[in-house]
Amino acid sequence: MSHPRHRLTHPTGVRRTVPFPVQGQPEPPVAEAATPSVATEPGGRDRYLDLLRSVALVRVVVFHVFGWAWLTVLFPSMGVMFALAGSLMARSLARPARDVIRGRLRRLLPPMWAFAAAVVPVMFLLGWKPVKEEGIWWFIKLGCYLLPVGAPPYPWENGSPSGLLEASWADQAVGPLWYIRAYLWFVLASPLLLKAFRRMPWPTLLAPIGLTAAIGTGPVTVPGETGEGLVDFAVFGSCWILGFAHHDGLLKKVPRYLTVSLAAFVMAFGLWWASGHLTEEGWNLDEIPLAQAAWSFGFCVILLQYAPSWRQLPGRTARWDGLITLTNNRAVTIYLWHNLLITATEPVIDQLWNIPYFGDHFGTYIGASYTALMLLLVWPLLALTIPAIGWVEDVAAKRAPRIWPNGSRKRPG
């Protein structure tokens, strides 16, 4: 029995789903956490930003299990992740732009290739065939698994409904790669964006929201994958550039009461716009580009305005230090693989009905708690994937492979 679950949605409404480095060392594409000792040194990690990134990743996993629309309002994870990445990118661009971009690509692509090497052959084995109407263009698009400047192709249905994985598994697995494409676009555009921001900070910061209003609400339509990529770039552009503002200290130059008041106004506009443009998924802001852009931007403004710049996690949050370090060190692995692993929980849970006595007497409870069981099971699957695949991130960063990089070190006897 396969339990229906939330279909992965793309933030544009189309269904498909670090430490601050030592000078001269490149950073990872999404995040890389340092050990606690590094975090306490001048110029080390900002553990507040690491905490935000960890919360964003957990929220993404929970949302893709349950599909609760209100989670996109409670914590706009993608906007937060882009804002944090923008701040790190601004810091990196103190070095030559060519070196920074090369380093980011080197860290991003090998984990992407490892994911594609596992997923794409299975698609072909389960009957995926070239689309005749597209001809050679179909094969060219396959190159996006090597360099994700566009959205990699995949079959909407693959295999059979009675197979080990549900027929939509490829859609679920590859859907999150829109973020990798958007991230790559921002990395490539960052040298120019940063120059524009430092010359005209406020117009550059707010321009993406205006662009979203133009191409994300109907007046201007760009068809196909190019249009989807442009909408992503516009929706999260202000969050990325907000990261520049955080790094350069622009937010500190504005009175806090004014910053928070204006951010609250922008967020209120986002909710107002969403209320008049609800989709079948209700308040899922991923389906409403302008609302997503406004809400995410205002939300991130407040988060970064109050950023305490921790070198160590304070109080009770310190008990989560190892987990936060691990998720930051393996952020790319977690993001790439989490949705495929969510899909993989289904055939495992389905076996509960085949257990003698248990399936007959508790089958109703299994069905009622199916999604909760998926959430419980996906974490141990991720815990297995991190040591099995995550070391690719270290190799890409020219580091010795680490099995479980949670920052712990052996103490001398």
Give whole-number Cα distances, 33 to 11, 111, 135, 237, 406, in Å: 27, 17, 44, 24, 8
Q: What phi, psi does 37 have (nearest 5°)?
A: -65, -35
The CB-side HSE value for 8 (13 A sphere, CA atoms) comes to 23
Contact 240, 85 (CB under 8 A): yes
Task: Please report the pLDDT score of residue 7 as a whole number.
Answer: 47
Task: Note if the pTM is more than 0.85.
Answer: yes
Task: Please report the pLDDT score of residue 359 as a whole number.
Answer: 77
Tell me the pLDDT tens digit for each residue of 336-358. 999 999 999 999 999 988 888 88
Task: Please report the pLDDT score of residue 360 as a whole number.
Answer: 80
Question: What does the angle CA 79 – CA 26 – CA 196 come to, to the nearest 5 degrees?
Answer: 55
- State the average pLDDT for the chain: 88
Tell me the pLDDT tens digit for each residue of 251-309. 999 999 999 999 999 999 999 999 999 999 999 999 999 999 999 999 999 999 999 98
123 φψ region: left (φ > 0), alpha (ψ -120 to 50), beta (else): alpha
**What gap in Å lies between CA 383 and CA 397, rounded to an integer?**
21
- Helices (H) and strands (E) in the chain — how many of each? 18, 0
Domain ranges of the chain: 71-307, 315-396
Residue type, 97: A
Has residue 189 got a pLDDT over 80?
yes
Tell me the pLDDT tens digit for each residue of 213-263. 999 988 888 888 889 999 999 999 999 999 999 999 999 999 999 999 999
Task: Please report the pLDDT score of residue 130 as a whole number.
Answer: 87
Tell me the pLDDT tens digit for each residue of 11-59. 444 433 333 333 333 344 454 433 333 333 445 689 999 999 999 999 9
Task: Please report the pLDDT score of residue 176 as a whole number.
Answer: 87
Q: Residues in the chain, how many?
A: 413
Q: Which residues, at least 6 apart from 330, have a Cβ–Cβ distance to it below 8 Å? A: 386, 390, 393, 405
Tokens of 325: 């370090």
Residues above pLDDT 90, as percent of the chain = 73
Closest CA to 273 of 15, 66, 73, 16: 73
Tell me the pLDDT tens digit for each residue of 352-399. 888 888 878 888 889 999 999 999 999 999 999 999 999 999 999 999
Task: Please report the pLDDT score of residue 409 as a whole number.
Answer: 66
Tokens of 231: 């909408």
Has residue 96 got a pLDDT over 60?
yes
